[in-house]
Chains A and B, each alone.
Chain A
Amino acid sequence: MSRGRTTTDRATAAIVRSLAARPYRISSPVVLTAAELAARGGVLPVWADPMALADETEADRLRERRLVAGLVVAIAVVVLLWTVRSLLM
């Protein structure tokens, strides 16, 4: 039995709407001194380069596509088992 929408539910929905309307959180720019950069062998760390951070996220997003390959293999195995079973029975 549904208890319907309560005051609390409406308050939560209002919070969700207000959060969605807020701007994205940003952090202050990372400042890397020449000495710190030298200590890292002159290689800019990923966290100091917003473009590198964006590339990393895009790579992770694209990596998720392998799940589709997993689905294809799963379907293929199930179909194969079903076919073998049907042929043998």
Chain B
Amino acid sequence: MTDVLTAAPDVAEIGRGVLVAVLLAFVAFGAIPVVAGLAQFLLIPMHAVRNHYRETGPYLPNVAVLVPAWNEAAVLTASVDRLMALDYPPDRLRVFVVDDASTDETPAVMASLGERFPGRVVHLRREKGGEGKAHTLNHGLREILADDWMEALLIMDADVIYAPDSLRKMTRHLADPTVGAVTAYIREGSEDAHGLTRFIGFDYLAAQAASRRAQNVAGAMACLAGGAQLHSRENLEAIGGQIDTSSLAEDTVTTFRTQLAGRRVVFEPHARVLAEEPAGIDALWKQRLRWARGNVQITSMYRHLWFRKSVHPGLGGFFFGVFWFAILLLPVAMLLTSIGLVGLYLLDSDLAATVFGAAVFVPVATFVFMITMTISVDPRVGLKVWKEALLFPGVVSFAVLTGATFPMLVPWGGGDSSGWTLFVYSWLVLCVPAAFLVRKLELTRWGHRLAPLGLYLVGFGPMMCAITVDAYVKEYRGAAMTWDKTEKTGRVSV
């Protein structure tokens, strides 16, 4: 009995040590997405030498453009006019608009376009609509594949506008028989860009122009942009000639199927496509929730693939797996980091400060790389949205990061700073529910005007994390997979 009592302090000490080790492991796990982000941004400059340009050729195939449309009357005329004006051989370009039982003026608009461009613009109408984009695309695919004319198929959205030289910049990659599909650089194209659309503008720069270059270098593409994907006929036939209808991320499934069937997917950064993006937080939330749920579904659908290079050298590779899960599990990582730091602070505040002080420069460096590399991929857009780039994590997070890097700048950080310290350690996770509140704020009559301010305070990045959390919950509950179409008003212009 005496022995047990004397041994008790040791047991407590061991327990404390184990707890500290677990909390440190939490912080280390939380750092993985940040390190993965840094690695990704370090890959981007390699695109200067490791790209597909030397394997291209002057290839100008017969291209069928497939446009799914549901109540797109406001934007169709401008989109088709732009397509007809593409700097591409006119006799090698046909547009097929699949009207998904629209109830607006779409049929009349299409009749008019058909008269203006006989034989080049085709109106395909589904009498039973509302089943989602993939079903609409499949209707068009069946019609197009039934004819031998098409050599390449461009899938786009009704609202996007292609730069005149973009299509031929995409087709040149298909000259290489190992390439099955090519995607372009989609960027936010609203003329009246404001807070939210500027954030989206930066997000597209980072997620498309920058990240897809890294994926070109790594040899594995996560997703063909839904509004700009060019397939060779051979590739479409190899993947079954149909688009997946079982998930909310049909474009990602198509991308994976193409690569798993042995063909490459290439990103062409100089083929530019403008898209109209949501102008409100709630509309953005619904759009991104669909994407995030799609990614959760893909993760489960391809569970045999992750970290298994034998299945596919690129998609099953270590780096691709880390990049994929770094985004998918970012909210979990943020939660664990917060728990780790707060727990360490309660156990040993000096140790917590040492860990935080040693680790804080990694996110700072990642943040600097993210902004600089992203702006360098498209300086014209980058310089327009540099403020949103700086405030991407939110004003509060930016202040926290600055204060942590330069503690002497924080007037309330000295002396008894336990309140400030605890706030810093817990904001990583508190910003996620705060993002939920910003969305709710926008939906109230009195808070509608305050929501943009809330978005700047909380940040666009945390909002994306909150949407991922929402996606986990919706998928766990098995919520209905509804296709919430983003309202298009024709705001985009070149």
Q: Once A and B bind, how many residue pairs between them come within 8 Å at the CB atom?
A: 138
Q: A81–B60 contact, CB under 8 A?
A: no
The CA of A13 and the CA of B92, in the complex, are separated in Å by: 33
Most buried by B among A5, A74, A89: A74
> A26 near B175 (CB under 8 angstroms)?
yes
Given known contacts A70-B373, A78-B369, A53 and B53 CB-to-CB distance under 8 angstroms: no
Are A81 and B87 touching (Cβ within 8 A)? no
Q: Do A57 and B172 touch (CB < 8 A)?
A: yes
| Residues of chain B within 8 A of A25, CB atoms compared | 57, 59, 61, 174-177, 232
Chain A, 1-22, CB within 8 A of any chain B CB: 2-6, 9, 12-13, 15-16, 19-20, 22
Complex Cα gap A45–B86 (Å): 11
A71 to B365, CA, bound (A): 12
The reply to whether A64 and B361 form a contact with Cβ atoms under 8 Å apart is: no
Complex Cα–Cα for A15 and B258 (A): 12
Q: How far is the CB of A64 from chain B (nearest CB, A)?
A: 5
- B487 contacts the other chain (CB 8 A): no
If A26-B59, A68-B48, A85-B405 touch, whether A56 touches B177 (CB-CB below 8 Å) is: no
Contacts of B54 in A (CB 8 A): 61
Q: How far is the CA of A54 from the CA of B53 in the complex (A)?
A: 10
Shortest beta-carbon distance from B153 to chain A in Å: 15
Name A43-62 residues within 8 Å CB distance of B: 45-48, 50, 53-54, 56-58, 60-61
Closest to B379 in A: A66
What residues on B are CB-neighbors of A2 within 8 Å? 308, 310
Q: How many residues of B contact A (CB 8 A)?
A: 57
B408 at interface (Cβ–Cβ under 8 A)?
A: yes
In the complex, A80→B59 CA distance in Å? 47
Please determine whether A67 and B376 come into contact, CB atoms closer than 8 angstroms.
yes
Mark each residue of chain B from 169 to 186: 1 if its CB lies under 8 Å from any CB of chain A, else 0.
Answer: 100101111100000000
Within 8 A of A (CB), among B121-164: 151
Asked if B107 CB lies within 8 Å of chain A CBs, one says no
Q: Are B310 and A5 in contact (CB under 8 A)?
A: yes
* Among candidates A15, A48, A67, residue contacting B47 with C-beta atoms closer than 8 Å: A67
Interchain CA distance A77-B126 in the complex, whole Å:
55
Q: Do residues B89 and A47 form an inter-chain contact, with CB atoms below 8 A? A: yes
Known: A67-B373, A85-B405. A23 touches B89 (CB 8 A): no
Distance from B150 Cβ to chain A, minimum over Cβ atoms (Å): 13
Contact A54 B58 (CB under 8 A): yes
**Scoring B residues 250 to 288 as 1 if CB is less than 8 Å from chain A, else 0, what string do you get?**
000000000011110000011000000000000000000
Q: Does B299 contact A (CB under 8 A)?
A: no
Residues of chain A contacted by B361 (CB below 8 angstroms): 82, 85
Q: A54–B169 Cα gap in the complex (Å)?
A: 11
Contacts of A3 in B (CB 8 A): 304, 308, 310-311
Closest chain-B Cβ to A28's Cβ sits at a distance in Å of 9
Q: Would you mind naming 14 contact pairs between A and B with Cβ atoms under 8 Å apart?
A: A2-B308, A4-B310, A6-B310, A20-B178, A24-B175, A25-B174, A27-B61, A45-B87, A47-B60, A47-B87, A48-B89, A61-B51, A66-B379, A67-B48
